[in-house]
Chains A and B, each alone.
Chain A
């Protein structure tokens, strides 16, 4: 699915979090929203996910206006920085949650749900943890469970807020490859937010550098590195 962001702006009270920004994300791309904190990257991601409503502008999914579409209808696999796993549910119940929450007519059978959860656990290479609670998992395991939970609803896109933010450096590196692999297997259009330029450059097909609620530059990693468009970008990617 390709996503078009058309002159989206967002202000909280009198402070502008996003000045009108536009961006076209091609189908199947892995896009990084890169910028320091307060640059508006998370706000943009939340607007894509339907968690925030833009002050003006439109969001188009496959050319269709999705601005007023509810969170539930969007079917965006959203992963939170804190993962927001349901701590009173097992890993199995967490992953099955989105399928079980469907209205009866659209809900898969019990066996089908179990089969899909098992498949997702294989995909994240943690086949044996279905019965555990989130409190019994390591940080890296939690991250992968959150990813599996987002994938379980057969999302139309993946939206990841600082997917590696809460992890230490070693795990971070391992999981980067994991994410790339999952993206390549599923072919989902994926947008992730990060403040780590190395992470963005290594992982993404397309990097969007943001600052102070504006897009500074859009481009492939090698292009941004070779030809930074503004002094801010030059400084940020060499930091």
Chain B
């Protein structure tokens, strides 16, 4: 058996600029991303797993982590459903105002989170436009005014806002690429439109929708600016995990902040890894024609 020569680290190429482009890439990546993240992990390692567990294993921290991940998950689920619907409407239907609607989907990407935070708070606070309706409807139906801002509902709405574009923007191009002939084939075989949507179109969109879902989830878990204004920030009830880090830092408790930061990183990466595995699995099944 002839041993194949090991692939060289960098293949020789007549292209110019290898040293320069590699140098800039590695240097900037190190300074801006790798060294800072390394510092976080080093801090955690020096602090020790037991001490870190001591910081994390408190009711207030668990409550914040649980709140962050639960509401992020629910917001991502909402965005999954609404985002697929929106992508379908934008890709398939022609109606006046479609371009405006299409452009508006990206606003949460472009609008600074702090601006979104105070705007949503102004809308959903008890004296705000939508907040008033919620109070009146609640009074009429149950006798007590419903509150949105400064409750978990407010956090949910802020997280829906920041995650809105992800699913739509990953699914929309896939819908545009669906071959009409495949849908037609399904119809000629006697399938109703609903059956075609469920059995033929949805399976092709699902991997993209899942990717968008993962991106929206990751974004929501780490979100800070749009949430803190509307959350009310009551410990054990409306306190999100990133806020705990800020509080630790304000108390100059760097070890505590590092412990919670690492916990968030680990949970996010496990979630992303799980979703990626599902993704690979579903892609392997479908293959590519």
Contact = CB atoms under 8 A, between A and B. Distances in A.
A213 interface: no
Q: Size band of the B side of the interface?
A: 20 to 34
B92 interface: no
B191 interface: yes
Interface string A195-228: 0000000000000000000000000000000000
Interface residues of A, number: 30
Interface string B273-286: 00000000000011
Interface string A74-107: 1111101110111110000000011001100000
B285 A135 contact: no
Contacts of A49: 188
B181 interface: yes
B182 to A, nearest CB: 5
Contact of B188 (A51, A87, A102): A51
Contacts of B288: 87, 135
A46 B192 CA distance: 18
A74 B189 CA distance: 9
Contacts of B191: 72, 97-98, 101
Given A87-B289, A88-B285, A97 B184 contact: no
B192 A78 contact: no
Contacts of B185: 78, 80, 84-86, 149
B187 A72 contact: yes
Interface string A118-145: 0000000000000001111000000000
Contacts of B199: 86, 97, 101
B182 A86 contact: yes
B189 A87 contact: no
B54 interface: no
A88 B190 contact: no
Interface string A47-83: 0011100000000000000000001101111101110
Contacts of A152: 189
Contacts of B151: none
A61 to B, nearest CB: 15
Interface in B116-160: none
Interface string B173-188: 0000001011011111
B190 A101 contact: yes
A71 B179 contact: no
B186 A88 contact: no
B200 interface: yes
Given A84-B181, A86-B182, A88-B204, A101 B289 contact: no
Interface of A: 49-51, 71-72, 74-78, 80-82, 84-88, 97-98, 101-102, 133-136, 149-150, 152-153
5 smallest CB-CB distances across A and B, nearest first, come from A98-B189, A135-B287, A101-B191, A78-B188, A84-B185
5 contacts: A88-B204, A97-B191, A98-B191, A101-B199, A153-B190
